[in-house]
Structure 1
């Protein structure tokens, strides 16, 4: 059943030894083209109440993904300690001593309101500390630092500074949209 035509896309995207993580944009190119057309030109639609036609336009407002899919689509690798797509390189995540797994425990308190009781709770969180730092504001595409790595992201290898300064793996195809 999974190899039938209507499920073919899912069969090709499921992770495996030769998955298409960085090449997912190949499958999204037609969607991006259609979204650009819907934004710039629109589609003629009939309003039956007024008995007239008009060009209706559309935009992609958001996508809903799990963290792994977000990493594939966005170009920011979600693995390791710099895997948070909000904090990016400004993370306080750490590797566990046994197993070398990335851990974001106690990292989430900075996103709470400054007067939230969990910020002052020393017993339930690590290192007996009070969280005083506010989360940094969400970055725009221009602020993300992507542009300095952009020329290197067109090749198949990872760009300079990967895992040290940044986690960019590719240019996000959604950045080609004008909106």
Structure 2
């Protein structure tokens, strides 16, 4: 009913791109283009709506006062221009999944009304008035993406993202190894198979796992039809809680209600991980490890014992100076000394950012504990992309600093 907004709903098809060689809108991506090729009748009408669904859990009573979690689910129309579609007034609160428990695989039960509406909006559509053209038309709606962090990815997709097969894309083709001392599954050195077949890292037998080269190709990515066939072949276990072969042959926990959508098996990229969540986890791990913060660093005693068993890096092995003395963990070249940490934190206190961008970053610096407290997801985003390349330059070896600096590009 708004003439200006009605015009914006066709921007994905008719809008002007100033940078045609870049993806400035989801319509420029291959997932959107393939959907248009598969469903030409839908794509011919530019006013038909593509939507994204975003969800995450939060505690409405404060961060630490209760274990209660509430899951709001938002529907976002993607037809709008890039600077408009993610504004608050264009995100619609569709579902609220109440607590107090984590919804887990039961999230599909709560989503049934939403899926029913999506099926109706796809098959029958809704009679809609277009104020821009002063005409009525049948508006159809299709689901295109979901946006969430990795745990929500697992319950949306129906694949457990914990344990030895946590990748919903590679599935059972990519399995981790349980560390002898750390006790967790590790995927160290699983990345080399994704490199080009002639990459020099593949034949490097010393820098990764000791005496190990990699010649195998990466796991094949299954199509929607192939995944649907696997789901149809699942057999419920005797207890009715899981499927036969869970934990050995697969990690399927349930069949998502989104598979009821007639076109879901055609989607190239139905689930997306929110970059900000990953960025926070990576930046937090980098900071805690480089500052060697006790109980939070990834470079702990168990990690040193595991690397001694798996890698050829004797300079990182635990050493015992005398027969009766305790074992000592040598300082790694990616860890700062106490004097260097003090210099970095004092420099950090002098930083000034615009209000609303990172104005509170320096307030969390604590020179007594050599830490930075109270950082949010956006703060870690700023640190990863803007601060780390400057923060560690001159303190860490060049080969370590270059990796941290290049990490901010992605």
In the superposition, the TM-score normalised over structure 2's length comes to 0.38
- Any idea what SS the aligned residue of 2:128 has? strand
Contact 1:119 1:132 in 2 (8 A): yes
For residues 1-179 of structure 1, what are the structure 2 equivalents within 5 Å?
A: 2=60, 8-10=70-72, 18-144=101-227, 145-149=230-234, 151-152=235-236, 156-179=240-263
Contact 1:120 1:131 in 2 (8 A): yes
- Greater fraction strand: 2
Where structure 1 has 5 or more consecutive residues not aligned to the other structure, the ranges are: none
After superposition, the C-alpha distances for 1:126-175 in whole angstroms (9 at most, x for unaligned) are 234333222122112442322211x528x741122111111111112111
Q: Quote how far apart the aligned CAs of 1:108 are.
A: 2.0
Q: Which moved more, 1:113-122 or 1:88-97?
A: 113-122
- Greater fraction helix: 2
Q: Quote how far apart the aligned CAs of 1:20 are.
A: 2.1
Contact 1:13 1:19 in 2 (8 A): no
Where structure 2 has 5 or more consecutive residues not aligned to the other structure, the ranges are: 1-58, 62-68, 73-95, 264-410
Q: What is the distance in 2 between the residues matched to 1:20 and 1:137?
A: 31
Q: Which moved more, 1:115-124 or 1:69-78?
A: 115-124
Q: Which moved more, 1:125-134 or 1:161-170?
A: 125-134
Q: What is the distance in 1 between the residues matched to 2:256 and 2:199?
A: 35
Contact 1:38 1:58 in 2 (8 A): yes
- Any idea what SS the aligned residue of 1:60 has? strand
Q: Quote how far apart the aligned CAs of 1:70 are.
A: 1.3
Q: What is the distance in 2 between the residues matched to 1:137 and 1:93?
A: 17
Q: Quote how far apart the aligned CAs of 1:48 are.
A: 3.6
In structure 2, relative to structure 1, the CA distance for the partners of 1:13 and 1:114 (3 Å cut) is: farther
Aligned CA RMSD, in angstroms, stands at: 2.7
In the superposition, the TM-score normalised over structure 1's length comes to 0.80
- Any idea what SS the aligned residue of 1:164 has? coil
Q: Quote how far apart the aligned CAs of 1:8 are.
A: 4.8
Larger Rg belongs to = 2
Q: What is the distance in 2 between the residues matched to 1:12 and 1:121?
A: 50
Q: What is the distance in 1 between the residues matched to 2:226 and 2:155?
A: 21
Contact 1:110 1:133 in 2 (8 A): yes
Q: Quote how far apart the aligned CAs of 1:68 are.
A: 1.1
Contact 2:193 2:216 in 1 (8 A): yes
